Structure 1
């Protein structure tokens, strides 16, 4: 039998694209004091325009929709490098990762014509109105209501943890449109202009002083009926498709990669225990990267993004803990900029396994929907 070699190296054209994105990412990140979690906390509208000019928004979208028609691996290497470097891409990230693909899959031609150009140009900012105070990971418990009134929907309710809503033009809203249906049914998706009367956006300042999470209140907000995306009362399957985009991406693995690299450059790695821990993190990074690539290539089982996100975000928490141990006293007395970043990341790290679906919920999804395990007693 002939020897078979599994080659994990990127082909030369992807290596060149990755090198370009790495340099762009470093240049953009070096303008920022904080380089961690840049895909969610680093809002810079000029960067969104820069990405558009480079053709790095909508890279994989079909050319007839205005996209780049490029491969999923081209997009992967670009955003792996941008996020790992700490480039502030939040102004474009949600629309590129999630909103555009949803319109392409479920939107009408009119909606695609109306909304996609602004996303592609980097001029249209979006938030995702899904979580609520009593319905975080449990989408079926959503209570925000939309009632049909002629050619409009009237929306009442509250969303929370809506990333970037303070800067956004639109929110992609999940609302209950049939209160008598079963919990997983009766949900619909609407595009809501955040400048509409009755909308109130309140940023939430967290313990790191970030304010990208927001509360959004809807008080009899009128939304054109034409802004319904996909099937009325059929949103749950669309939400699950969105979750594949949200949970299985490279943003869940390299949020604090730049901090890790910067700490390694100054830490005393003569300690064999630190070297052993760094080796483990490097191994886990490569395993997580392979999980993400499998999602990107469409090779993962349906619903497996729950496992990918769980592994990757727990890895990010271990990175934060390692960086504190590796710096030791220098975390307080060393480079003030690096120390500030480390302290912030330690405080922020618990969020990794909460936002986008808590790990206990994701483990249930993995057990029940992927592995087919029986549900335990309740």
Structure 2
């Protein structure tokens, strides 16, 4: 079968790659730019080019373009390390969620700024005792007249320190079963009672944040979708988060830069390169199934699992190719590539944790996609 793209799509990808490379970080690090590359000026440039909300209906200010056009643009941008984090969460899942569940007034209020690259969003989902298990979250919202009053805590909230808005998943009916009683609110991050504390990770990033809510008043009109019906909405939103190209190309640039240094006279090295090349193509086809709407419901769990495990294998490959140099951290005296490899191998465990751990996603695949029976719980003594 011929999987070649239309020449017009190739030209669009080349345009995006050239633009992204010209805006990439000056320190040479190209990896994980959709998470750590905050640049509001670049977000505005994407908006000016019509590369935000590309597939959204023109009636709400979107581009009305094909999913493949968006796919090639962001594959190229992330592959070269373009700083897209300022607009990524809003474009990837907030906009589609508002299009599916938001009211016309909500769409009119928030979508234009997203399309223009003027507003930054974060997603308040995980909590200290509720990481991949959304049903066990405890952040609570209580109705008080025309407002909700929010109290609780979120963790691993990417981009919260720079965000204007937080798309918050909270419990609005504490007496309902765990998967029920959840609702979604749009919270102004600058509201009184919101405290954002950046969390510094092993490689010096501070994109993860802890967010505390202490009596935060949120207008009732900021409820998105059905009150106490958030779980279904969250699962739909996670399809956007888990099945995208960002889960495959985070460290693609590192692989392409390290590959020429590998000893391909060694048959074992050649075999590993072939496996990584094959894995990338398989992962890309899995993402394309999501993009084109050909994947079954819940299949994004398989896409994310396969792609992020490949990203971890790439980090390991880079470390082995560079040998002792891969232990050197990036500074003025360190070759840039060695510093990137050191960063990559330290950061790699996060790929299969963020957005749902691999263990949880395999459970989802077994139970919800394949319909396998659950293992019976052992009887209590």
Shorter-chain TM-score bucket reads over 0.9
* Of 318, 324, 344, the match for 1:323: 318
**2:236 counterpart residue number:** 241
Does 1:28 pair with 2:23? yes
Structure 1 counterpart SS, 2:345: helix
Q: Using the alignment, how far apart are the partners of 1:25 and 1:268 within structure 2?
A: 30
Look up the match of 1:199.
194
8 Å CA contact 1:61–1:69 kept in 2: the answer is: yes
Aligned to 2:176: 181
Write the distance in 2 (CA, Å) between the matches of 1:156 and 1:119: 27
Counterpart CA distance in 2 for 1:324 and 1:109 is 50
Q: 2:50 aligns with which of 37, 47, 55?
A: 55
How many residue pairs were aligned? 373
Counterpart-to-counterpart distance in 2, 1:149 and 1:271: 69
CA distance in 2, matches of 1:29, 1:315: 23
**Aligned-pair distance for 1:332?**
5.1
Other-structure match for 1:3: none
What is aligned with 2:338?
A: 339
1:158 equivalent among 146, 153, 160 = 153
Q: Does 1:19 align with 2:14?
A: yes
- Specify the alignment match of 2:376 in structure 1: 377
Alpha-carbon distance in structure 2 between the residues aligned to 1:364 and 1:32:
40
Structure 2: distance between partners of 1:270 and 1:329: 20
* CA apart distance, 1:329: 3.3
55-64 or 328-337, larger mean C-alpha shift? 328-337
Write the distance in 2 (CA, Å) between the matches of 1:35 and 1:82. Answer: 10
1:97 equivalent among 72, 75, 92: 92
Is 2:304 the counterpart of 1:305?
no
Give, in whole Å, the separation in 2 of the partners of 1:312 and 1:207: 22
Shift of 1:30: 5.3
Tell me the distance in 2 between the aligned counterparts of 1:120 and 1:132: 29
Residue 348 of structure 2 is matched in structure 1 by 349
- TM-score with structure 2 length normalisation? 0.96
Choose which of 105, 110, 116 in structure 2 pairs with 1:115.
110
SS of equivalent residue, structure 1 residue 217: strand
Q: 1:255 maps to what in 2?
A: 250
Normalised TM-score (structure 1): 0.97
Task: Note the alpha carbon deviations across 1:339-372, whole angstroms, 9 max, x for none.
Answer: 1111111000000000000000000000000000
Q: CA deviation at 1:234?
A: 0.4
CA distance in 2, matches of 1:24, 1:265: 24
Q: Which residue of 2 aligns with 1:37?
A: 32
How far apart, CA to CA, are the structure 2 residues paired with 1:166 and 1:336? 31
Is the counterpart of residue 133 in structure 1 residue 128 in structure 2?
A: yes
Partner Cα separation in structure 1 for residue 343 and residue 325 of structure 2: 15
Residue segments in structure 1 that go unaligned for 5+ positions in a row:
1-5
> 8 Å contact 2:261–2:321 — kept in the other structure?
no
Alpha-carbon spacing, 1:157–1:30, altered in 2? closer, same or farther (3 Å): closer
Structure 2: state its 5+ residue gaps.
none
C-alpha distance in structure 1 between counterparts of 2:222 and 2:235, whole Å: 20
Superposition deviation, residue 88 in structure 1: 1.0
Contact 2:262 2:269 in 1 (8 A): no
Partners of 1:275 and 1:332 in 2: CA distance: 24
CA RMSD of aligned residues (A): 1.2
Q: In structure 2, the residue corresponding to 1:185 is in which secondary structure?
A: coil
Q: 1:44 to 1:316 in 2, by over 3 A?
A: same
Q: Return the alpha-carbon distance in structure 1 between the equivalents of residues 21 and 334 of structure 2.
A: 19
* C-alpha contact 1:317 1:350 (8 A) present in aligned 2: yes
Task: Tell me the equivalent position of 1:367.
Answer: 366
> Per-residue displacement from partner, 1:151-178 (whole Å, max 9, x unpaired)?
0000000000000000000000000000
Hey, what's the Cα distance between the residues in 2 that align with 1:282 and 1:142? 39
Contact kept, 8 Å, 1:165 with 1:216, in 2: the verdict is yes
SS at match of 1:265: helix
